[in-house]
Structure 1
Amino acid sequence: MTPTAAGSRTSTEFQQGRRTEVSQKLLAFVAEVTRCVENVQDEVIVVSRVRKAMSELVSTDDWLPETMALSDPKFYQQHLLYGDPLDRFSVVSFVWGPGQQTPVHDHSVWGVIGMLRGSEINQRYGRTAYGMDPIGGSERLEPGDVEIVSEAVGDIHQVRNAFDDRVSISIHCYGGNIGRIRRHVFKDLGETQEFVSGYSNALTPNLWAPAQ
Structure 2
Amino acid sequence: MSTGPLDRFVQDLDTCWTETAGAEAALLPRVEALMRTLVAHDDWLDPAMAQPHPQYYQQYLLHADPQDRYSVVSFVWGPGQQTPIHDHTVWGVIGMLRGAERAQAYVLADDGTPRPSGPEEHLRPGDVACVSPRIGDVHRVRNGHDDRVSISIHAYGGNIGKIRRHVFPPEGGAAKDFVSGYSSPVRG
Tell me whether the two structures share a fold, i.e. TM-score over 0.5: yes
- Given the two structures, how large is their TM-score scaled by the length of structure 1? 0.83
Q: Does 1:193 align with 2:173?
A: no
Q: Equivalent residue for 1:53?
A: 34
Over aligned residue pairs, what C-alpha RMSD do you find? 1.3
Q: Equivalent residue for 2:131?
A: 149
Greater Rg by CA: 1
Structure 2: gaps of 5 or more residues: none
Amino acid at match of 2:176: Q
Percent of paired sites with the same residue: 55
Q: Equivalent residue for 2:4?
A: 24
Q: Does 1:35 align with 2:15?
A: yes
Amino acid at match of 2:31: V
User: Contact conserved, 1:132 with 1:190, CA < 8 A, in 2?
Assistant: no
DSSP 3-state at the match of 2:16 = helix
Amino acid at match of 1:25: P
Query: 1:190 & 1:23 partners in 2: Cα distance?
Result: 48
Structure 1: gaps of 5 or more residues: 1-21, 204-212
Q: Equivalent residue for 1:102?
A: 83
Q: Does 1:175 align with 2:157?
A: yes
Query: 2:46 & 2:67 partners in 1: Cα distance?
Result: 24
Cα distance per residue 1:31-75 (max 9 Å; x no partner)? 011112222132111111000000000001010010010000011
User: Contact conserved, 2:65 with 2:71, CA < 8 A, in 1?
Assistant: yes
Query: 1:152 & 1:90 partners in 2: Cα distance?
Result: 19
User: Contact conserved, 1:54 with 1:114, CA < 8 A, in 2?
Assistant: yes
Q: Equivalent residue for 1:165?
A: 147
* Superposed structure 1 runs of 4+ greater than 4 Å apart: none
Query: 2:53 & 2:114 partners in 1: Cα distance?
Result: 29
Query: 1:23 & 1:164 partners in 2: Cα distance?
Result: 35
| Cα distance, 1:190 vs structure 2 | 3.4
| Cα distance, 1:129 vs structure 2 | 2.5
Cα distance per residue 1:127-167 (max 9 Å; x no partner)? 11241100011010000000000112100000000111100
Amino acid at match of 1:119: A
- More helix per residue: 1 or 2? 1
**Structure 1 stretch 95-104 or stretch 185-194: which is displaced more?**
185-194
DSSP 3-state at the match of 1:123 = strand
Query: 2:39 & 2:72 partners in 1: Cα distance?
Result: 13
DSSP 3-state at the match of 1:136 = coil
- Given the two structures, how large is their TM-score scaled by the length of structure 2? 0.94
